[in-house]
């Protein structure tokens, strides 16, 4: 039986906890349809009490061809996808991480893979452009994101009511130095569209590793299933705590993954295992 002090400590710890959600989709080439599905899932997450909701990479379009994203790219600050994100965040009074969307780059034949964050008032508070661009040539499977995407070059962390949030997208997951460069983040959001080929071997291992080594919560929102263009994405969206525990996950298909973030629990873990303070090779 818990004594009075222990009970009070547990209640205090739970009081500052809050719910977050990872949205999983299997997007296609129709933007209107994808936005309608995203809104349905965001509404479901909000109904379950999520205050921070994360969409997957390119949630608004997975085109028949890689060049399709160029045709629907938006200028920063205007366009139907950005309007959708702003209005939806404001309507449900949530912080909304807009997965990633195609924003115009500096070259006409390429776009940025951009992750936008909107607060509960519908105001954009952060933008991160994916730094690491995926390529794979394995058997009959081949990808080269650099053919249509322009790389970003800035690490982005945003202060929020939920703590410091670090932004990363998909292939960034393989580069731990990016997450170290975020410095003292409480939450990492990771919109993704991992292929089934790489995801079945590496996705969970890498997501949990990034959580453990940074003693941070990770909200990993993935594309998951078969797409009209013939691509298969791995899914397995998940929310992972700083100890590497998977709080909730979804294997395939559209849906909502819900987890509770407890800052007191995180602080306790960081106090018990102060690995972040034990770093020696800061510049490596």
The pLDDT tens digits of the residues spanning 159-210 come to 999 999 999 999 999 999 999 999 999 999 999 999 999 999 999 999 999 9
The count of domains in the chain is 1
Residue 277 within any structural domain of the chain: no
Q: How far apart are CA 177 and CA 164, in angstroms?
A: 18
Q: How far apart are CA 96 and CA 101, in angstroms?
A: 13
Residue 3 within any structural domain of the chain: no
Residue 6 within any structural domain of the chain: no
Q: How far apart are CA 270 and CA 268, in angstroms?
A: 5
Residue 10 within any structural domain of the chain: no
Residue 184 within any structural domain of the chain: yes
Residues forming beta bridges with residue 114, ordered by sequence position: 101, 129
CA dihedral for 237, 155, 198, 147, sign (positive or negative): positive
Active site residue 170: yes
Q: How far apart are CA 87 and CA 139, in angstroms?
A: 43
* CATH code of the domain in which 53 resides: 3.60.110.10
- Can you tell me which residue has the tokens 């009070």? 8
Q: Which domain holds residue 267?
A: 18-272
Instruction: Provide the residue-wise pLDDT of the chain in tens; the chain has 284 residues.
Output: 445 554 444 444 456 999 999 999 999 999 999 999 999 999 999 999 999 999 999 999 999 998 999 999 999 999 999 999 999 999 999 999 999 999 999 988 999 999 999 999 999 999 999 999 999 999 888 999 999 999 999 999 999 999 999 999 999 999 999 999 999 999 999 999 999 999 999 999 999 999 999 999 999 999 999 999 999 999 999 999 999 999 999 999 999 999 999 999 999 999 999 999 999 987 75
Q: Exposed, middle or buried: residue 159 (CB in 10 Å: 0-12, 13-18, 19+)? A: exposed
Residue 114 within any structural domain of the chain: yes
Q: Residues 37, 57, 145, 150: which is the catalytic one?
A: 57
Q: Residues 69, 145, 150, 170: which is the catalytic one?
A: 170
Q: Residues 130, 145, 150, 196: which is the catalytic one?
A: 130
Residue 280 within any structural domain of the chain: no
Which tens digits make up the pLDDT trace of 95-127? 999 999 999 999 889 999 999 999 999 999 999
Q: What pTM did the predictor assign?
A: 0.94
Q: Of 78, 91, 74, 109, whose CA–CA distance to 38 is shortest?
A: 91
Q: How far apart are CA 284 and CA 268, in angstroms?
A: 28
Residue 137 within any structural domain of the chain: yes
């Amino acid at each position: 039986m818990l004594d009075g002090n222990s009970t009070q400590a547990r209640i205090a710890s739970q009081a500052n906890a809050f719910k977050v959600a990872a949205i999983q989709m299997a997007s296609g080439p129709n933007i209107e349809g994808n936005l309608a599905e995203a809104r349905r899932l965001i509404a479901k997450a909000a109904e379950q009490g999520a205050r921070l909701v994360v969409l997957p990479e390119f949630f608004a379009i997975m085109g028949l061809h890689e060049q399709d994203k160029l045709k629907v790219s938006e200028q920063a600050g205007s366009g139907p996808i950005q309007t959708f994100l702003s209005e939806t965040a404001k309507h449900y009074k949530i912080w909304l991480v807009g997965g990633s969307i195609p924003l115009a780059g500096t070259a006409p034949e390429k776009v940025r893979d951009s992750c936008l964050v909107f607060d509960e008032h519908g105001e954009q508070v952060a933008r991160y452009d994916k730094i690491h661009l995926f390529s794979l040539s394995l058997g009959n499977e081949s990808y080269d994101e650099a053919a249509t995407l322009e790389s970003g070059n800035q690490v982005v962390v945003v202060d929020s009511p939920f703590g410091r949030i670090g932004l990363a997208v998909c292939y960034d997951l393989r580069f731990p130095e990016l997450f170290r460069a975020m410095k003292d983040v409480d939450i990492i959001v990771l919109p993704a569209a991992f292929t089934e080929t790489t995801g079945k071997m590496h996705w969970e291992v890498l997501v949990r590793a990034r959580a453990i080594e940074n003693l941070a919560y990770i909200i990993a929102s993935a594309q998951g299933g078969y797409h009209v263009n013939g691509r298969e994405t791995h899914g397995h969206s998940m929310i992972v705590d700083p100890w590497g525990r998977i709080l909730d996950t979804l294997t395939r298909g559209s849906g909502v993954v819900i987890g509770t973030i407890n800052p007191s629990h995180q602080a306790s873990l960081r106090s018990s295992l102060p690995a972040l303070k034990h770093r020696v090779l800061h510049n490596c």
